[in-house]
Amino acid sequence: MLRLGALLEKTVPPLGFELVDWDIGKSRLLRIFIDAPKGVSVDDCARVSHHLTRLLAVENIEYDRLEVSSPGLDRRLAKLTDFVRFAGEIAQVQLRELTDGTRRLKGTLRGTEGGNVLLETATGTRAIPFDTIDHCRLIPNIEWRKA
């Protein structure tokens, strides 16, 4: 699947979108998450989907279904640069191994320092080595919905 990842990294940005993430499950559903500074519309997803459908056929990439969407408010952070971009946002971090008695941390992202992600928690700011993070998702601020 390395070939697919490289192909997507090379193809999606020239279409005007950031490739946020992708995965292909056991049911061979290929999910691709895209973003843009002004957000992503349904028409944007359809345009990328049509382009990729043709490209994947030419490249003989096998899948059963293709789904292109925005990453949503609770987007997954997959690259070190994501932690810089979303500094100030609240996130849930899942570590690969038990560290200081926990694998889950919640706090405010404070960017990066070297290869570490800075997370401000209730007990202080922690420097978490990026390669120890299993996955991380933003926790949407839905205060505006209460009004």
Q: What is the mean pLDDT of the chain?
A: 91
pLDDT in tens, 56-112: 999 999 999 999 999 988 899 989 999 999 999 999 999 999 888 889 999 999 999
Q: pTM here? A: 0.77
Residue 66: partners with Cβ closer than 8 Å, 6 or more residues away: 30, 32, 49, 52, 53, 56
Domains belonging to the chain, first-starting first, are 2-69 (3.30.300), 80-146 (2.30.30.100)
Residue 33: predicted pLDDT: 95
pLDDT band at 116 (very low <50, low <70, confident <90, very high): very high
